[in-house]
Amino acid sequence: MADLQKRLTGMRNRAAGELFEKWISVSCEYYWKLGYACIEKTPEPMKPISPYGKRGTGQFVACYTKQAQPDFKGSLCDGSCIIFDAKHTDSDRIMQSAITKTQEEILDRYETMKAKCYVVISLKLKDFYRVPWSVWKQMKERFGHKYMSCTELEAYRVPDRNCMVLLLEGVEINEDSKIRIDKKD
């Protein structure tokens, strides 16, 4: 029975994580239409092994070829690069270990090139945060532990609206301006 409970919890968490990524994708399309950014989901690195189902359906059996990269990459309207990973949890805290070693290395690389690097977080699909990569990787030094609680995340809260996470709200562009979404949009 415990194994079944773990499987159900895992399925629920995966479904919530996928929904969170869909909301981010809708947000990215919204920002594209406003002319603020072009941000796309990073495809998972996989290799097809064999066809699956009826011929011509485009379905196949595949395996992952390496660990996943951060979930989203793109450019802002001022030409700066943005990269972030999306993490969802049904807990009241997010663990630093949610980011894989590969994702950490890639975010570090982009950060050295002056890209805007973040971890975008969903807590229970109700509260959303955009944590700068520089803060994320210093959790232990800043907070005394390798997780961030709701209280510690509060400074990084971003608004949501109509199944969109307004993750670019307040991001600095063109040195002295910030993206502000008109509440009437």
Return the structure tokens found at 173.
């562009």
pLDDT tens, position by position, 92-135: 999 999 999 999 999 999 999 999 999 999 999 999 999 999 99
- Fold annotation for 9-178: Trna Endonuclease; Chain: A, domain 1 (3.40.1350)
pTM of the model: 0.84
**Which residue type is seen at 2?**
A
Q: In the beta sheet, which residues pair with residue 181?
A: none
Q: In the beta sheet, which residues pair with residue 157?
A: 129
pLDDT of amino acid 60: 58
pLDDT of amino acid 68: 75
pLDDT tens, position by position, 25-82: 999 999 999 999 999 998 775 556 667 777 667 675 655 455 678 999 999 999 999 9
State how far the Cα of 11 lies from the Cα of 44, in Å rounded to an integer. 19
Which residues, including other chains, have CB under 8 Å from residue 91's CB and lie 6 or more apart?
123
Helices (H), the chain: 2-34, 101-112, 133-136, 139-143, 150-153
**Where in the chain are the domains?**
9-178
pLDDT tens, position by position, 10-20: 888 889 999 99
126, 132, 133, 138: CA torsion to nearest 10? -90
Phi, psi of 107 (to 5 degrees): -60, -40
Helix, coil or strand: residue 53: coil
